A and B are shown apart, each in its own frame.
Chain A
Amino acid sequence: MLYRAQFPRSVFEELDRLQRDMQQAFGFSPSIRGRIRGGFPAMNIGSTPTSVEIYLFLPGVDPKQIELNVEKGVLVVAGERRTERPTAEAAQSDTKAIVHIDERFSGRFRRVVTLPEDIDPDQIDARYRDGLLHICIQRRKPAEARQITIQ
């Protein structure tokens, strides 16, 4: 207890608190799954008067293995990503085998996006290039204004 009294506020504690405050202030809290920057895959969404553009950052995934579904105005992207890593046997036979940094996502993923109401589920175009999945969904043409005659 003497130690605590002598160092009522350690520098590290202060830094940690500051970091947490910053995260709260910017509206993102650390996930229980350990990723601050959102889930996998990361997603950007853009809007034009005629379409909704969705970009999913999915590096190193076989496009044939990506499941893409739209149902009742909800878009679901799911699949699995396997990353290459040293095998257990290699690690055992090679005593120098070490994992220094392990940050890349590995395993099954799933992301769900609620789409705007005016999209046309029959006009969806999805392309995969350079680890980026670009989904372009056309909006329905707005119904033309009609004059209604009062009988």
Chain B
Amino acid sequence: MNESNEITQQVDEGREPVPLAPYVDVFEDASGITVYADLPGVSKEGLELNIKEETLTIRGTISLGTPQGMEAVHAEVNSSKYQRTFTLSKELDSEKTTAQFESGVLKLRIPKGEHAQPRRIDVRVD
């Protein structure tokens, strides 16, 4: 693995690199879901978020800024892309998703729809 001649930016022409799955944390509470994703090396311009129907896709392009004529000696991050897809569920209101991206960490908040918010139902005893 250490002998890899490819470093993230040196991509063969015409061949899509196999993306890495970024590490994530997913927490749920009563009002929604919070997703944190580690995307080190991705700038704001290199980040792509997509929610289509019930699928959330996080994509990122890593830019290392390698100097000319650099030869890779050791590469643990051996792709220039990150990609990870999640299936959302119906109770989530994905249109109200908010995103923050800072120093390589993406934070997404996907609230639950009004109808899915927990409600206390009073039981009447006549």
Contact = CB atoms under 8 A, between A and B. Distances in A.
A22 to B, nearest CB: 13
A38 B38 CA distance: 15
A58 to B, nearest CB: 6
Nearest to B4: A44
A90 interface: yes
Contacts of A97: 27-30
A80 interface: no
A99 B77 CA distance: 27
A46 interface: yes
Given A46-B7, A86-B27, A104-B24, A60 B105 contact: yes
Contacts of A55: 41, 64, 77
Interface string A57-97: 11111000000000000000000000111100010001111
A55 B63 CA distance: 11
Contact of B39 (A45, A85, A131): A131
Contacts of B30: 94-97
Given A47-B71, A48-B69, A101 B26 contact: yes
Interface residues of A, number: 45
Contacts of B71: 46-48
Interface residues of B, number: 40
A57 B73 contact: no
Given A26-B1, A49-B69, A59-B39, A44 B24 contact: no
A96 B77 CA distance: 36
B24 A103 contact: yes
A95 B29 CA distance: 8
A26 B3 CA distance: 12
Interface in B71-126: 71-77, 102-105, 107, 118
16 contacts: A37-B76, A45-B72, A46-B72, A48-B71, A57-B40, A60-B103, A83-B36, A85-B27, A95-B30, A102-B25, A103-B24, A104-B23, A105-B38, A128-B103, A130-B40, A136-B67
Interface of A: 26-28, 37-38, 41-49, 51, 53, 55, 57-61, 83-86, 90, 94-105, 128, 130-132, 134, 136
**CB-based closest 9 A-B pairs:** A131-B104, A59-B104, A131-B40, A60-B105, A57-B40, A59-B40, A101-B26, A45-B74, A46-B70
